[in-house]
Structure 1
Amino acid sequence: MKKLDKLIIKTFLGPFVATFFVTLFVLIMQFLWKYIDDLVGKGLDTTVIIQLIAYTSATLVTLALPLAVLLSSIMTFGNLGESFELVALKSAGISLLRFIRPLLVICTIIAIGAFLFANYVIPVANLQAKSLLWDITNAKPAFNIKAGVFYKDIPGYTIKVAQKDKDNQTIHQVIIFDHSTGGGDKIITAEKGQMVLTANKRFLYFILENGWRYEERGNRGFTVPPDMIRFGFKKYSKAFDLSAFAFNRLNMDLFASNQQMLNVRQLDQAIDSLQKVEATYGKTMRAYVSSRYTFSKWKDSAWVKNAPPLKVKEFEDIIPMDQRRNVLERAEQTVREGLSALETPAKDYEDRHGVILMHKVEWQRKFTLAAACIVMFLIGAPLGSIIRKGGLGTPLVFAVIFFVIFNVFFMIGEKMARSGVMMTWSGMWLSNIVLLPIAAFLIYKAMNDSQLFNKEFYFRIIQTVKKFLQRFKRQPTTT
C-alpha cells in the first residue's frame, strides 16, 4: 500500500465512523417517534428499553451504511477539493479513478460486511426486536389512578377517587364498583383510604376508612327482587390482583417463521417448500375442471383449433324449444357451482403466492442494501470532487437529496415486487439501477474537471446570454 492510499483511507475513515453513528442515531429516533405512544405509560424497566433500542439499532445498520458511505465520501473528496489537494494530485498525473481505487476496495469490504451482517445478525436481531415490541405494544398501561376519573383497567372493577394527596397514596371519597364474577354488582364507598402496593407489585391493597359496602344477593330476572344488603365499616381492606399489568414475554418461536427472521439459506428452503405447496393448487384445480367439464380435454387439440366458430343461433337450434329453458338454467347453475368451488382455493393460492413474494423480497434485500454501499460511494466520490466543499453543510444537502431518491425508488420497487407488478429482483434492485447511470455521469464529469456545480460557470453563461440578447435588441429592424 502506497502513502497515497494510506492518506485517502485515513481521510475517509474518520468521517465515515462519525456519519454512521449520527445516521444510526437519527434512524433510531425515527423509530422511537413512531412507537412513542406504545412505549410511554407502560411502566417498563430501563433494561427492557435498552434491549429494544439495541436490537432495533442492529436492524437499522444496513440502512444506515449506504447513507454514511455517501455522506462521508462527499465530505472526504469535498475537503480534498477545497484544499486544492485534488488539483495537486491531478497535476502530478494521478487520475481520479486511481485516487478513488483504495476507497472503492474499502467500500467493497463494507458491502461484504453489510451482507454478512444482514444474513447472520439481523435475522436474530429482528426476532428479538419484533417479539419484544409485540410484547410491549400488547402490555397494559402502568397502574395509575387519577382523581375524578373512572379507572377501568383492573379486570372486573371500576374505581373512582375524588382526590389524591401529594404522597400519591392517600385518597379521598372512594367509590369501587365490583362487577367481577360471582353474582350481582357490589359497591364500596369510603371517606378516605390508603393505597399500598406490595414489594413484588403483584397486589394492590386499598385500606379504606369510614365507609359502606352495598351488595345484592339473589337471582335477577325473577318475580322476587334480590335482597339489598348494606354493611358499614370503620376500616376495610380490599385487595386487587395486578398480574394483568405485569410485563410478560411470549415464546419467540411464534415469530421465528417470519421471512425477516431467516437468513439466505433458510429463505431458500422456505421458498422451495412454499412453491411445492403452491404447485398442488394448480394440480387440484386442473383435476377439478377436467372431471366436471369434459370439453377441457380437447382444448389443445387440432379439432378445436380448426373447427368453425359455433354461432349462438345454431346452438339454440340444436335444443328443442321445450328443453331450452331447462338446459340454460342447468348450465348457469353448473357454472355458478364451479365458481363457488374455486373461489376459496383461488384465494388461498393468492395468499400463499403473496407469502412467496415476501420471502423473495427479503432474499433480495440482503444483497440490495449491501450493493447500495458501493453505488452510493460511486455517487459520493465524484460528487465531492465536483462541488469541492468540505464540512457538513453542503455535503449533507446533496447526501440527503440522493438518499431520498434512493429511498423513494427502493420503497416503490419493494411495493411493486410484493404486489407482483414487477419481478422481485427488478423491483428490489430498482433504486440501484436508477442511481448507477447517475454515478457514471458524475464520474465522467469529475474526470473531465466539470464545473457542474460552480456558480461562476453559470454566472458566465447568464452574462453571455444577456450580452447576446442586448445585441439582438440593438439591431435595427427593417421594414
Structure 2
Amino acid sequence: MFNVLFKKLDILIIRSFIGPFVITFFIALFVLVMQFFWLYMDELIGKGLSIWMIVQLLMYMSATLVPLALPLSVLLASIMTFGDMGENFELVAIKSSGISLLRFLAPLGVFILLVTGGAFVFNNNIIPVANLKALSLLYDVRNSKPTLNIKPDQFNNDIQGYSIRVGSKDEDGFTIHDIIIYDHTDMVGNNKVIIAKEGQMMPTADKQTLIFRLKDGWRYEENYKGGMHDAEYPQTRMHFAKWDKVFDLSSFNFTRSNQDLFKNAYQMMDVKQLYEVLDSFDRNSDMSYKAITSYVAPYMTFNNKLKEDSLLKIKLAGVKTPARAYDSSFLKLIPEDKRLVMMQTVSNNMRNLKALMDNNCLNEKLQKEKTMQFSVEFHRKFALSFACMLLFLIGAPIGAIIRKGGLGLPLVFAVVFFITFHILNITGEKLAKSSSLPPWAGMWMSTFIMAPIAIWLVITATNDSQIFNKELYLRAWRKVRGYFPSKKSALAK
C-alpha cells in the first residue's frame, strides 16, 4: 500500500513540476532573446536583412542562451510548484501522513539530476555549434554595409568612390531633382562632377546595380596631365539631354564568412577539445621558459662555457697575463681608442636583450590570458549545468516555506535569487579572467557561496520554519515596540 502511495506521490510531484517548468523555460528564453535583440537592434536595422536571416540569428542565439534560461526556469518552477502545494495544504496532508519533505523531494531531485545531465550534454555538444553559427552570423551582420538610403539635401558616401546629393525627392521615391554627383574613383579629388536638373533612381531587379537616369545636365572633368603641381588643368565640359549613370551595388550584398575561421575560438569547443588545448598550452609554457636561456646566451658571454677545441680557448691558454686589479672603473683597463666602440656594443646588446625579454614577457602574458579564457570556458560547462540542481535546492524549500503559488511572490523570490547567482557568476568569471582567482574558483564561486544557503533552506523547510511568514515578523516588531512607550502614552501619564 505504501509503495503504491509513494508511486502516486512521485507521479503527482513530477506532473505538477513539468507544466510550470516548460512554461517558465520558454518565458525566460524569450526574455533573454529579446534582451539580445534590443542590445543589437541598432546594428541589425537598416542592413537589408531578410526575415529568414533574422529568424536564423534569433534561433542560434536562443540555443546559446539555454544555459542561462534553464537554471532560472528550474528555480521559478520549483518555487511555484511547492508554493502551490503549500497554499492548497497538500504539503500539510503529506507531512501528516508521515512522509518527510526530503522523501517528497526525492523523485523531483532525480528528475532535476537528469535535467542537469541533459544540460551538460547540451552545453558540451550543442552550444559550441550554436556559438559557431550565431557568432559568425552576427559578425557578418555587424560588418555588412547598411542599405543605400539617399536623403534629400544630404551628401551620401555609401557607394565607394562617389558622393551623391539630391535636392529633393518626389512622393514616388524615384524621381529626384537638383542632382550633384562627385566622382572620386580616380583618387585625385573632385576632378569629375555631374550636375543634372532632374532624374530617376532605378534599381535593377537583381539589386546589383543602381541606375541614375539623368536629364538636362552637365559633366565636368579636369585632366591632370602634368601632375598635381602643374599650373594648367585642362577642363572638359559636356552637356547631355539624357544620360544613364550606373552604380555597382554588389558591395551592399550580405556575404557569409568562412566558419572555419572561427573554429579555434574557445566558445566553439567541447570539453575534450578544451582539455587538449589547455594541455598543449602547458607544454608550450614549459618550452618557452626553457627557450629563454637560449635567447639570453648570446648576450651573456661570460656565462658561456668554451669548448676544449675552440680557437678562443686555445689562444687564451697561451696568454700568461697576471691578474690586474682596478680601483674604480673597469673602463680604465680598456684602451681609450676602443672604449667608445665597447660601450656602444654593450649598449646595443643590452637594448636587444631588453627588447627580446619584453617580447617574451608580452607573449607569455597573452598566452596566460588565452589560457584563462579556455580554462574558464572549460569550467563554465560544468558550473552552469550544476546550477540547475543548486537552484532547485533553493527554490523547492522556499516554495514550501512561503506557501504561495502563481507568478506573484514566487517570481519575486526567483528573480532575487537568480540575479544574485548571476552577479556572483559574472563576478567570478571576471576575477578568473583577470587572474585574481584560479579559473575553477572563479567559475564555481557562485556555487560555493549559495550552496550553504541551499542547505540551510532545506533544513529550515524540513523543520517547518516560518522565516518568510509576514505575521512572524509583525509579532516580533509589536513585541519590540512594546518596550518603548509612545509619546501619547507618556503625555497621558
- Which residue of structure 1 aligns with residue 46 of structure 2? 41
Q: 1:227 aligned to 234, 257, 265, which one?
A: 234
Asked if residue 203 in structure 1 is aligned to residue 209 in structure 2, the reply is yes
SS in 2 for 1:175: strand
Q: Distance in 2 between matches of 1:362 and 1:94?
A: 42
Gaps of 5+ in 1: 298-317
SS in 2 for 1:321: coil
The CA deviation at 1:287 is: 3.7
Q: Distance in 1 between matches of 2:440 and 2:333?
A: 53
- Which residue of structure 2 aligns with residue 312 of structure 1? none
Asked if residue 389 in structure 1 is aligned to residue 394 in structure 2, the reply is no
Letter aligned with residue 204 of structure 1: L
SS in 2 for 1:167: coil
- Which residue of structure 1 aligns with residue 224 of structure 2? 218
- Which residue of structure 1 aligns with residue 315 of structure 2? none
- Which residue of structure 1 aligns with residue 20 of structure 2? 15
Q: Distance in 2 between matches of 1:289 and 1:394?
A: 67
Asked if residue 161 in structure 1 is aligned to residue 186 in structure 2, the reply is no
- Which residue of structure 2 aligns with residue 250 of structure 1? 257
Q: Distance in 1 between matches of 2:244 and 2:296?
A: 72
SS in 2 for 1:250: coil
- Which residue of structure 2 aligns with residue 378 of structure 1? 393
Q: 1:152 aligned to 133, 152, 157, which one?
A: 157
Asked if residue 368 in structure 1 is aligned to residue 383 in structure 2, the reply is yes
SS in 1 for 2:482: helix
The CA deviation at 1:419 is: 1.8
Letter aligned with residue 116 of structure 1: V
The CA deviation at 1:296 is: 8.3
Asked if residue 269 in structure 1 is aligned to residue 276 in structure 2, the reply is yes
Letter aligned with residue 71 of structure 1: L
Asked if residue 349 in structure 1 is aligned to residue 334 in structure 2, the reply is no
SS in 1 for 2:423: helix
Task: Give CA-to-partner distance per residue, 1:142-198, whole Å, 9 cap, x none.
Answer: 011111110001000000001111211111111111111276621111111111111
Q: Distance in 2 between matches of 1:325 and 1:392?
A: 89
- Which residue of structure 2 aligns with residue 438 of structure 1? 453
The CA deviation at 1:371 is: 0.1
- Which residue of structure 2 aligns with residue 314 of structure 1? none
Contact 1:289 1:296 in 2 (8 A): no
Summarize the Cα distance change of 1:163–1:426 in structure 2 as closer, same or farther, 3 Å threshold: same
The CA deviation at 1:19 is: 0.4
Letter aligned with residue 279 of structure 1: D
Task: Give CA-to-partner distance per residue, 1:291-321, whole Å, 9 cap, x none.
Answer: 7558989xxxxxxxxxxxxxxxxxxxx7422
Q: Distance in 2 between matches of 1:173 and 1:331?
A: 71
- Which residue of structure 2 aligns with residue 310 of structure 1? none
SS in 2 for 1:161: strand
Q: Distance in 2 between matches of 1:223 and 1:465?
A: 97
Aligned residues: percent identity?
A: 47
Contact 2:372 2:432 in 1 (8 A): yes
Q: 2:178 aligned to 162, 168, 173, which one?
A: 173
- Which residue of structure 1 aligns with residue 474 of structure 2? 459
- Which residue of structure 2 aligns with residue 259 of structure 1? 266
Q: 1:187 aligned to 182, 189, 193, which one?
A: 193
The CA deviation at 1:265 is: 1.1
Q: Distance in 2 between matches of 1:221 and 1:63?
A: 62
- Which residue of structure 2 aligns with residue 300 of structure 1? none
Contact 1:42 1:142 in 2 (8 A): yes
Contact 1:175 1:190 in 2 (8 A): yes
Letter aligned with residue 218 of structure 1: Y
Q: Distance in 2 between matches of 1:449 and 1:434?
A: 24
Contact 2:326 2:332 in 1 (8 A): no
Contact 2:74 2:392 in 1 (8 A): yes
Asked if residue 94 in structure 1 is aligned to residue 109 in structure 2, the reply is no
The CA deviation at 1:83 is: 1.0
- Which residue of structure 2 aligns with residue 303 of structure 1? none
Q: Distance in 2 between matches of 1:445 and 1:52?
A: 45
SS in 2 for 1:38: helix
Contact 2:17 2:78 in 1 (8 A): yes
The CA deviation at 1:102 is: 1.0
The CA deviation at 1:324 is: 6.6
The CA deviation at 1:133 is: 0.3
SS in 2 for 1:188: strand
Summarize the Cα distance change of 1:337–1:197 in structure 2 as closer, same or farther, 3 Å threshold: closer
Q: Distance in 2 between matches of 1:427 and 1:222?
A: 65
TM-score (norm 2): 0.87
Summarize the Cα distance change of 1:336–1:191 in structure 2 as closer, same or farther, 3 Å threshold: closer
